[in-house]
Amino acid sequence: SIMACGFLQTPWDPEVDLWWHDIMKNASKECEPVWCDAEDELFILYTSGSTGKPKGVVHTIAGYMLFTAATFKYVFDHHPEDIYWCTADIGWITGHSYLTYGPLANGATSVLFEGLPIYPDVSRMWNIIDKYKVTKFYTAPTAIRLLMKYGDEPVKKYSRKSLKVLGTVGEPINPEAWLWFYRVVGEERCPIVDTFWQTETGGHVLTPLPFATPMKPGSATFPFFGVLPAVLDESGEELEGEAEGYLVFKQPWPGIMRTVYKNQQRFEATYFQKFPGYYVTGDGCKRDKDGYYWITGRIDDMLNVSGHLLSTAEVESALVEHASISEAAVVSHPHPVKGECLYCFVTLKDGHDFTNKLIDELRKQGNCIS
């Protein structure tokens, strides 16, 4: 069935297509639930694998819904009067956990939108926040950096007084983007929940709690209730205190995936074989002297340049600190002497030119890390 929606033009075949509003006229309001066991499969969501075919991540009913309900309630400080907006695609895990299951389990009022954040104009996001009085806003660092390059004026055209909590998801957020989000969008009064999690974890595993966790720009801060992280070295030894290494988890939590669809062997090999007894995230992290966790990027995104291990995320973060750069991506390239070298790709902010002077300045930015 098809629902009329704005001015979209939809191909129509009268032999197979029906209007949603027509078939709903005679629909019953009663819907007998199907009784299921707690560990019955709820959905299978495919995520990329470093080798081979994508993995079918299996989540089950009770644990997943408990975890998404709890993380949504506490991470976003949800209250019945809130208007919540998550900009994620509903077909990805963020759309499942924090656009569908988590909000619905809490009876939340949610904003859904279609199209692009910069069409018909670059103020679209801020217009929606103003129009619907959004109180909790959850989006990706990529979207923040995209909107940053258009400056502050498109944001300030609209009121953001309704906002109470801001959130980021999908990748580590560089400090420059974090500060712009905090100062310009949130007017220095909205806490930012920088959430770390994966398709496999089902919900937030490292995250600040708004108004409770002192923030550090770029840090996912501390574990959520019941989540027990650890940092391991290459030999699998747990590192104490200030450390950098592999991010793992020491015990299960309700939302953890149960298996890879029809491939239990791949499930065990991917997540538990490298360090037996631990769930291996595949991410590197740093833990600072205050116990805060900082995601440094995928372990397979680590580069070995002249014997020095470099995180692509750290180099990218250094590059976007330059006033001319809105986005950066760093990849490895073989080098006959150093083993590997860095290839850096950057997107310029509007009004800036790619000059030799800029190249020199960016090299200096990168050298701060490398």
The verdict on residue 29 lying in a domain is no
The verdict on residue 279 lying in a domain is yes
> For residue 336, what pLDDT band results from cuts at 50, 70 and 90?
confident
Residues 311-335, mean pLDDT to the nearest whole number:
85
Neighbours of 278 (CB within 10 A): 20
Say which CATH number the domain at 348 has. Answer: 3.30.300.30
Q: Which tokens sit at 32?
A: 């007998």
> For residue 304, what pLDDT band results from cuts at 50, 70 and 90?
low
Q: Which tokens sit at 53?
A: 């075919």
pTM of the complete model? 0.81
For the residues of 272-322, what is the DSSP string, one character each? TSSSTTSEEEEEEEEE-TTS-EEEEEEGGGEEEETTEEEEHHHHHHHHTTS
The verdict on residue 24 lying in a domain is no
Of 112, 110, 106, 111, the closest CA to residue 78 belongs to 106
Range of the domain at 339: 306-369
Q: Which of 141-145, 167-171, 172-176, 304-308 has the lowest mean pLDDT?
A: 304-308
Residues 88, 202, single domain; the answer is yes
- Residues 6+ positions from 319 with CB-CB distance below 8 Å: 325, 328, 330, 344, 346, 362, 365, 366
Rounded-to-integer distance, Cα 299 and Cα 234, Å? 11
Average pLDDT, the chain: 91
The verdict on residue 14 lying in a domain is no
**Top-confidence range, 10-14, 75-79, 113-117:** 75-79
Residues 305-321, mean pLDDT to the nearest whole number:
74
Residues 197, 95, single domain; the answer is yes
Residues 129, 171, single domain; the answer is yes
Residues 290, 326, single domain; the answer is no
**8 A C-beta contact, residue 182 and residue 190:** yes
The verdict on residue 32 lying in a domain is no
Rounded-to-integer distance, Cα 27 and Cα 24, Å? 5
pLDDT of residue 284: 93
